[in-house]
Structure 1
């Protein structure tokens, strides 16, 4: 059984990603990093990425190739404030789905590492 299966698969990830983007939509630091008028395409890409990362279908790679996360985020100023705001919205999303403590800790460990990895601008 994959982590994807353990946490409830697509339905759980959809709830996490939707809640996360609710926060991003009103965040004055993060929202400018999403140039599309509608956050829907970004939300879908993130959902596909997390689905694949955690052991679900590989649709992300089939549609977009290798994630190249740092490269895709390079055009945007990602500093400690942006990282912290991103994590704030992600924490709220994880809290909303109330994963079991072990799965929550594993998910949180990954996203905190990933958020730090995306920082490309010193304070």
Structure 2
């Protein structure tokens, strides 16, 4: 990431930009990764439900260095605990990363920031694995 004191949240463009990234992520999941989408609550159209989309956007805003509204509303993320009921193996990890890469492509996350975020997202996605294979 460029030498700056700006957070990834700020470099992406703030709340609206992070919310757009989150929406494109779930749109890509719905379109390209149906097995992953089905691990989430779905709406009447078979798409990942609004509540999941909004909750992830709030988490992502804080995780990227923006306001900590997720923690204020839901407490510490405790990602592994909150996802323990969800079978996350290598194929689901990779599906998650494909959807996030597609989202970053669609919103045009630039060069060094993109490289930095890919590494960070990959670390978290791998950390979330709770099943072999």
Alignment pair present for 1:43 and 2:53? yes
Any stretches of 5+ residues in structure 1 without a counterpart? none
Structure 1: distance between partners of 2:106 and 2:37? 21
Task: State the Cα distance separating 1:36 from its structure 2 match.
Answer: 4.7
Give the structure with the higher percent helix: 1
Q: Pick one of 5, 8, 15 that aligns with 1:10.
A: 15
Number of the residue aligned with 1:77: 87
Of residues 23-32 and 51-60 in structure 1, the stretch that sits farther from structure 2 once superposed is 23-32
1:31 aligns with 2:37: yes
Question: Does structure 2 retain, via aligned residues, the 8 Å contact 1:21–1:39?
Answer: no
Pick aligned residue for 1:60 from 65, 70, 84: 70
CA distance in 2, matches of 1:42, 1:92: 19
Structure 2 contact 41–52 (Cα < 8 Å) conserved: no
TM-score by length of 2: 0.86
Distance in 1, matches of 2:110 and 2:29, equals 25
SS of 1:119's equivalent in the other structure is coil
Report the secondary structure of 1:120's partner residue. coil
Aligned residue pairs, count: 123
Contact kept, 8 Å, 1:79 with 1:122, in 2: the verdict is yes
TM-score, normalized by length of structure 1? 0.92
